[in-house]
Structure 1
Amino acid sequence: MRIKLSENPKQEDTILAWVNGRKVLDKKRNLRKKKSYGINQVMFSLFFGGGDETWHTKKDEKVYFRKFLVKGN
């Protein structure tokens, strides 16, 4: 995933995402109201969903991320 904030907060920012090398998301959105707003953290939340024990995994699971980079100006 790539999020690029425009220099001017009145212009749209870019959100791009790839899955297995294939681009699956290419959106333009205004993500902030002021230039002083920015990105200061990254959070992953992975879950199986559901609201009871029937959704629990039967074994330990793993997830791998490749080519992960957080970069600022």
Structure 2
Amino acid sequence: MPHRERKNIRAGLRVAIVLKQDQRTGKQTVGTVKDLLTNSSNHPHGIKVRLTDGQVGRVQKILADEKEN
């Protein structure tokens, strides 16, 4: 899954993340990646990122590439 590999996530990508408090429900939050917080090359639950609005969560889906904008 591409959202589990750090090499596929970069600043400027539009993604859907799951916030810590939403892990039980799986509710997704959409935003643009500002910072990558996971240091390992992959993670089974998704790469942890900070969005431009400051929210932090694990990437569940990559919605758009910065090249498309």
Q: TM-score, normalised by structure 2?
A: 0.30
Higher normalized strand content (fraction of residues) = 2
Higher CA-based Rg: 1
Structure with greater proportional helix content: 2
Relative contact order, higher structure (CA 8 A, sep 6+): 2
TM-score by length of 1: 0.29
